[in-house]
Structures are given as C-alpha cells and as structure tokens.
Amino acid sequence: MFCYIKRLKKIIVSTLGVLLFFTTQLFGIELNMYYPVAVGGSLTKIVDGMVDEFEKKNPDVKVNAIYAGNYNDARIKALAALKSGKPAQLSVMFSIDIYELIEQDAIVPFDDLVSTYEDKAWLYSFYPTLMQNGVTDGKVWGIPFQRSTIVMYYNKDMFRKAGLNPNKPPKDWDELVSYGKKIVDSTSSWGVMIPSTGYPYWMFGALTMQNDQVLMNGDGNKTYFDHPSVVGALQYWHDLGNKHKVMPSGTIEWGTLRKNFLEGKTAMMWHSTGNLTTVKKNAKFDFGVAMLPASKRRGTPTGGGNFYIFKNTSAAEKKASLRLIKFMTSPEQAAHWSKSTGYMGVSPASYQTSSLTNYVKTFPPALVARDQLKFATAELSTFQTGRVRKLLDDAIQSVLTGNNSPSSALKKAQMSADKLLKRYR
C-alpha cells in the first residue's frame, strides 16, 4: 500500500514536470501585467476575458493579468516588483503617475518602441485630450486604456417630483444651486453630492476648469492653487454645503456615494463615468447622465489609467507588451471595454465600431463622456505628485469641513507646492 502511494507520487511529480516543460515551450513569452480597479464592479472578469482573447490570437504569449487593488496599490506593487528584480513587463497605472515613474526611471517612452509607420500612426489614433497626461518632454509614455471623465448622474424621478424638467439637467452653477434647492424643499433628499474623499483634487479639477483655470502647467513643475479662479471654485464647492445647503456639509465619502445615489438620498451626484454600467444595472429609478455644469465654461479633468511598459524588460518582452497593448486598445476591444464598464472608448475609431454605435443608440448616456471630452483637461499631475496632491486634498478638506477659508488654505498649499517643485524648474 505504502509502496503504491510512493509510486503514485512519482508519477504525479514527473507528469507535472513534463507539463511545465511543455507550457514554457508553448508559450514563448510570459508577461506579467498589473491593473487597478478604482470603482468596483466586476471589472476583473472583463479584463480576464479580454486577456484570454488576446492569448487565443497570440498563442506564443502568456499573459498573467494581476489585479492589484486601487491605483495607489497598483503603483506600489509594480514599483516593489521592479525593486525586487522580478518586474512586471507592463502595467495599467494611474495616468498621473507619469512623472513619478519617469523619476524612478521605471518606464520607457513608446516612441522608442514603435518603428513602423503603422505603429507610429497608432500612437496618434487616440483622443488628444486623453494623451495629455501621457505625454511629457515630447514623448509618449502612457497609452490610454481605462479612461474616464467626471459626469453628473441625476435621478429623473426626483426631478419630476420637484417639478423640474427631467430632460433639462442644470447647465450652469446657478442652476445647480436653484435646482438643488427645489429638490431639498420638495423631497427628503439632498440636491447634489460631490465626493471629497479619495480623490478630492480630481473633483476640484472639474470645478476649476469650469472657472476657466487649470491647476498646473504642462511640465509638471508649477501649480496655480492660489489663482483667484481656483479660490472661487473652492468657495463655490464650500457654499454648496454650507451656504446653499443643497449638499451635506463636511466631506462626502467617495466609496459610498454611489450607494447614496442608488438609495435616492441625493438627486444628483458627480462621479466617474467608470460607474455608468454599475449604476445602469442597479438603479431602480429613471436616471440620466449629463455633462457637468458650467461657470465660465464647461470643464472636467480626464481620469483613470494608462498602459505603461517597464524599462527593465527584454526587447522581445517589450515587443509582446506592445502587441498586447495594441490589442487591448484596438477599436473593437475599446468598444467592448466601454460597453461593459462605462469607461470611454479611447479612440474616435472605437465609437465607429458597429457594437458601440448600436449600444449608444439604445443607451445615449454612454456618449456623454465622449462629448464632454472637448471641454476636458489633464488631471492634476506634477513632479512629487503624491505630496502635491495631498497638499491640495488637505486644503480642500479643511475648507469643506469649515476649518479654513478657501483663500488662506489654497495660499498655504501653493506655498508648500512651490517649495517642493522649485528644484524641478
């Protein structure tokens, strides 16, 4: 009996060995890819599905798509893998990580990898606004993949209840306030919620752009936090909760906001387009999606993740990574990705595929993010981006919780940012 088990063990071990040998033979190249999920939902399944399809078409490449938490976690894991000497070959990471990744000498520009005319044209096939966060120093470092803008989701049933036209969402800041007041007066819900934890600087980027001012320059070494239009934007955000009372005062949690909206506790919410499909699936009421309201103009930052290729990989791996990225961002895949998540199609061509044209015909809200792109700007991204972002986040939160005035909080943030960025000028 004992002998029998021993023999069985031997057989199993040798079979496994042979199997391992053949798999490494079969899959010439193995790629590790980290990717983040920021809005929840079943995004991991969708990514896995796309990767499977790529492997079917490219049997010589094996891809390990590794879900790595939120954007912060993904960056940490990728950089840790890099330092441990067993790096991933490519990764989806926050589009605004670009300066940090360059500073860490972690990534290569795509310009160095593309050689054919066709590949070069591919680099320019994406929406230019989406490329803003991926280009610096005249080179392309990030390819847009899981990209979003901020849109306004609103509860049409609640609009009707408050005597508002459900097909006319507020188009400017004044209307947002007056509509909000009507809703607060006639229902037991809040008018609007703008999340201020997690990514407050991102929501703020929308308000400042609407006030016709960007937050930083294109070289990532100067911020404009104390510009009067920026101060005005923060004043407006503060007033929504503390003066007009159409929004709860204090900070509003990013993670639970969607639930608040779905439970009908707020008539409008500002959130990533990445939530669209989940909201569509779970909303038990008639809802609409609108562009964010304007002050001097409409505006939103883009957001989300780009593909990066790591420096510390062999030429063959880089080539295979490029192939994978080209597949994942191809019009058909981008259309599929957009349909199943709500993130936008990253290229104009993706909106011309039959699958996405048919989808937006039955579900027009899916177009809002794309149409808003022409008003969009880059997301806050500078050298020392973690610290600079925290400075702005803290300033915003100190104002929203009523502990500081917009002008003094932002002046302080600007002074500290200047101190950090001085040596990059």
Partner 1 sequence: MFKNNLHHIYAWLLLSPALILMGTFTHIPSILTLISSFFSTGTKKFPSKFVGIENYEMIFDDPIFLEAVINNIWYAIATIVPSIILAILMALIVDSKLSGRVLVRMAYFTPTILPMIAVSNIWLFFYTPEIGLMDQIATNLGFNSQNWLGDKDTVLNCIILITIWKEAGFFMIFYLAALQNIPPELKEAAFLEGSSKFYFFRRITFPLLMPITLFVLINATLNSFKLVDHLFILTKGGPDNASNLILYYIYETAFSFLDSSYAATLTIFLLFALAIISIVQFMFFDKRTHYR
DSSP helix/strand/coil, 268? strand
Q: Examine residue 226 and tell whether it contacts partner 1 (CB under 8 A).
A: no
Binding residue for partner 1, selected from 17, 49, 250, 364, defined by CB under 8 A: 250
Residues pairing with 227 in the sheet = none
Q: Examine residue 397 and tell whether it contacts partner 1 (CB under 8 A).
A: yes
Q: Examine residue 136 and tell whether it contacts partner 1 (CB under 8 A).
A: no
Site size toward partner 1, by CB under 8 A = 37
The stretch near partner 1 (CB under 8 A) out of 2-10, 256-264, 321-329, 343-351 is: 256-264
Smallest separation (angstroms) from partner 1 to the CB of 357: 38
Smallest separation (angstroms) from partner 1 to the CB of 402: 8
- Segment holding 193, helix H or strand E: strand 190-193
Nearer to partner 1, 190 or 351 (CB): 190
Q: Examine residue 280 and tell whether it contacts partner 1 (CB under 8 A).
A: no
Q: Examine residue 245 and tell whether it contacts partner 1 (CB under 8 A).
A: no
DSSP helix/strand/coil, 248? coil
Binding residue for partner 1, selected from 252, 267, 268, 322, defined by CB under 8 A: 252
Please provide residue 353's backbone torsions phi and psi, each rounded to the nearest 5 degrees. -65, 150
Alpha-helical regions (H) of 187-314: 200-210, 228-242, 254-262, 276-282
Long-range contacts of 239-245 (CB under 8 A, 24+ apart): 240/176, 240/177, 240/180, 240/192, 240/194, 241/400, 242/402, 244/177, 244/180, 244/181, 245/181, 245/184
The binding track of 333-362 with respect to partner 1, each residue x by CB under 8 A or -, is ------------------------------
* Integer Cα distance of 348 and 401 in angstroms: 41
Smallest separation (angstroms) from partner 1 to the CB of 316: 25
Tell which residue, 290, 298, 283, has the closest CA to residue 376: 298
DSSP helix/strand/coil, 145? strand
* Integer Cα distance of 399 and 250 in angstroms: 9
DSSP helix/strand/coil, 38? coil
Positive or negative, the CA dihedral 383, 67, 378, 195 is negative
Q: Examine residue 371 and tell whether it contacts partner 1 (CB under 8 A).
A: no
Binding residue for partner 1, selected from 125, 401, 407, 408, defined by CB under 8 A: 401
Smallest separation (angstroms) from partner 1 to the CB of 384: 7
Q: Which amino acid is at 403?
A: N
Binding residue for partner 1, selected from 142, 180, 191, 198, defined by CB under 8 A: 198
Q: Examine residue 187 and tell whether it contacts partner 1 (CB under 8 A).
A: no
Smallest separation (angstroms) from partner 1 to the CB of 172: 27
* Integer Cα distance of 188 and 264 in angstroms: 9
Residues 301/207, Cβ–Cβ less than 8 Å:
no
Binding residue for partner 1, selected from 17, 163, 218, 386, defined by CB under 8 A: 386
The binding track of 90-129 with respect to partner 1, each residue x by CB under 8 A or -, is ----------x-xxxx------------------------
Q: Examine residue 40 and tell whether it contacts partner 1 (CB under 8 A).
A: no
DSSP helix/strand/coil, 408? helix
Q: Examine residue 281 and tell whether it contacts partner 1 (CB under 8 A).
A: no
Binding residue for partner 1, selected from 58, 125, 187, 249, defined by CB under 8 A: 249
Binding residue for partner 1, selected from 181, 323, 387, 411, defined by CB under 8 A: 387
Q: What share of the chain is helix, strand, coil (3-state, %, to 5)?
A: 55, 15, 30
CA atoms within 13 A on the CB side of 381: 24
Q: Examine residue 421 and tell whether it contacts partner 1 (CB under 8 A).
A: no
The stretch near partner 1 (CB under 8 A) out of 143-151, 250-258, 268-276, 289-297 is: 250-258
Give residues in contact with partner 1 (CB under 8 A).
72, 76, 79, 100, 102-105, 190, 196-198, 248-253, 255-256, 259-260, 263, 265, 384, 386-387, 390, 393-394, 397-398, 400-401, 403, 423-424
